[in-house]
Amino acid sequence: MRARGRPPLRAALACGLCVGASLLAPPTATAQDQADAPALVAWYDCSTDAAARLDDGRSDAATVAEALATSCQPQWDASKAEQCAASELSPQACALLSDKLDANRRSYEIKVVLAHRARKAEASPP
């Protein structure tokens, strides 16, 4: 896994997705995260890569996030399935979790774009 100067994935992203909370900071996957939630790691990596590729720095973050969503749809679906399987929820509860994650998805993706912009700004000389 590539290091990107991010805080731990489990604390910032995995828990946030499980409960539908927002991302607080762009995460880094640990070896344990990769073993426990490979689809979640794959979605985050796809999202950060897409943000870097798609962000022109002028478009609003929501527009970039919309394009990012299309680019990373398979990883998003796999991540939701992984979260449901890991939590051992009933099919009805899993459907509710999936709906909650989908309802919050755009905010997750916008935060990925904003985190990309912040990292890019930090890396740019003044």
What sign has the CA pseudo-torsion 119, 121, 125, 126?
Answer: negative
pLDDT of 115 reads 95
Domain coordinates in residue numbering, the chain: 9-118
**17, 44 contact by CB (below 8 A):** no
pLDDT of 29 reads 56
Instruction: Decide: residue 111, CB within 10 A, 0-12 exposed, 13-18 middle, 19+ buried.
Output: buried
Residue in 39, 46, 49 with CA at minimum distance from that of residue 17: 39
Question: How confident is the prediction along the chain (126 residues), in pLDDT tens digits per residue?
Answer: 444 444 444 344 544 554 443 333 345 556 665 567 899 999 999 999 999 999 998 999 999 999 999 999 999 999 999 988 888 889 999 999 999 999 999 999 999 999 999 999 998 876
pLDDT of 19 reads 41
- In this structure, the chain runs to a length of 126
pLDDT of 106 reads 93
> Looking at the DSSP assignment, which residues form a beta bridge with residue 28?
8
